[in-house]
Amino acid sequence: MCRTRIRGMTTGVLSVFAEILLTTVPPLAAANTTATANKRIVPTVLEIFVPCYTVLAVAILFLALMLFSSSFRVKAINRRKSRVDAERWEMTVVTDAGISIINHTTRVAFDDVPLSDKKTTRSFLEDFDKEVLDNLCSFHVQPGEIIRICLPAFSTLTLGPILMVGYYEIIDFFWSIEDYPELPNINQCVACFLTPAGLVYAISFGFAFQQAINKQCDILEKMTTEISYLDQAATLTSKLKLRSPAVKASMYRALKAEALYMILQVQKCDMSKYRHRPKENIKVEIWKIVDHLHLLSSGPHHHVDVVMCQRIIDYIMALNSVCSDQLGILHSKIHWLKWAFLVTLGFFSLFGILMIKAYSYRMELMMSMLTLFSVVMLCYIVADLDSPFTGFFRIDVRIISDVIYRLEMLSNMAFMGCTETACYPDSSKFRYKL
């Protein structure tokens, strides 16, 4: 009886020990399954870095080829560029403006023009003027400006993969593989995070984009207004009845100086950087027109000339106002602290996208890549619009050169004795357009 009781107690203890052993030590198959489950499937370093850096390398190569081709094209055009010489001006005038504009009864004999006036006629465009016009053709392909425009986008594309690699280390800190063999589904929590983060990200980039596009529209309007004032002042000058063609040519030179000063403002370039120097102060040369207006000839059209003089003075005043107003917005750029703020907000949104559980690491990786590329594209678009004269979406100011060539044509036509000089010559005869 006692032996039976002892045997039953021994059997019970062994069965309890076996149950404890089975619950604490899983079989071999179960151990292998747990080991497999504890190994989280994450993208490799190559899968993260190769797509981003491949896009970065292609973008850099494309920009380098674009800069090289543009520079080569500008140099080739400058080599081919041929201007109409002084002996062919009369033929050009007759071809462009029409033979009826020359009044043979009142035509000034070119031989009777003083030697100083002849020299002025032949040297309307000086060496400094030609250098500024040639520099205007290649101003939009400066490597420094292109690098500055691409810097926010390239920096974002460089740091994005590093953030994606560090994300998995952050996940192991919050959900260790020992405590969480499988990551929990936190999509609802991520949605609560992405809603305010994405809203702030969208609003911030929206304000930056609106600021850049408004700045470009404002500059375009002001540049168009200034070019229009220069053109109208040249037209009214051609209609004035002045005592000498040299006076009219001097007024054209004053308008040319204002156009050159406008180009220097656009380029934000000091005159000391040029090899040649202007013979007059181009910043205030336009005010000499007021002195020339005192030399009006008295005749039956005197009252009309007075009205035209008043219009010209109004244009000069407006040009001075527009020029002073442009100094505040022509070269104002987005501050680097604002760029750091925008890029940081973009990385916050990228971090939220990384936390989304899509039950496929390839899908999660593709979503993260697309989010990173969208942030990069936004950075580039805003930076490009913020550079209205050197970016891809730039304001083409080379039309200023057309105004200068028209002033040159009008100056030479005045010495030829043309009475109806309100014409627009074909600028392709004087230069090859880009």
- Over the chain, what HEC string results? CHHHHHHHHHHHHHHHHHHHHHHHCCCHHHHHHHHHHHCCCCCCHHHHHHHHHHHHHHHHHHHHHHHHHHHHHHHHHHHHCCCCCHHHHHHHHHHHHCHHHECCCCCCCHHHCCHHHHHHHHCCCCHHHHHHHHHHHCHHHCHHHHHHHHHHHHHHHHHHHHHHHHHHHHHHHHCCCCCCCCCCCCHHHHHHHHHHHHHHHHHHHHHHHHHHHHHHHHHHHHHHHHHHHHHHHHHHHHHCCECCHHHHHHHHHHHHHHHHHHHHHHHCCCHHHCCCCCCCCCCCHHHHHHHHHHHECCCCCHHHHHHHHHHHHHHHHHHHHHHHHHCCCCCCCCCHHHHHHHHHHHHHHHHHHHCCCCCCHHHHHHHHHHHHHHHHHHHHHHHHHCCCCCCCCCCCCCHHHHHHHHHHHHHHHHHHCECCCCCCCCHHHCCCCC
Q: What is the model's pLDDT at position 31?
A: 35
Confidence band, pLDDT 50/70/90 cuts, at residue 26: very low
- pLDDT at res. 158: 93
Confidence bin at 342 (pLDDT 50/70/90): very high
Q: Is the pLDDT of residue 219 over 60?
A: yes
Average pLDDT on 337-344 reads 92
pLDDT at 417 > cutoff 70 = no
Q: Which of 77 and 180 is assigned the larger pLDDT?
A: 180
Q: What is the pTM of this model?
A: 0.75
The pLDDT score that the predictor gives to residue 25 is 40
More confident: 132 or 54: 54
Answer whether 208's CB lies under 8 Å from 383's CB: no
Report pLDDT for 383.
92
Task: Please report the pLDDT score of residue 261 as a whole number.
Answer: 87
pLDDT band at 111 (very low <50, low <70, confident <90, very high): very low
> What is the mean predicted confidence (pLDDT) over 61-80?
73
Work out the pLDDT band at 88, boundaries 50, 70, 90: very low
Residue showing tokens 């083409």: 396
| Percent of the chain at pLDDT exceeding 70 | 71
Q: Is the pLDDT of residue 168 over 50?
A: yes
- According to the model, what pLDDT value does residue 297 have? 58
* Lowest model confidence (mean pLDDT) among 53-67, 204-218, 301-315, 366-380: 301-315
Q: Quick check: 145 pLDDT over 70? A: yes
* Alpha-carbon torsion, ordered 108, 110, 113, 118, to 10 deg: 130
**What was the pLDDT predicted at 391?**
79
pLDDT at 357 over 90: no
Statement: residue 136 has pLDDT above 70: yes
% of the chain surpassing 90 pLDDT: 16
The whole-number pLDDT of residue 159 equals 92
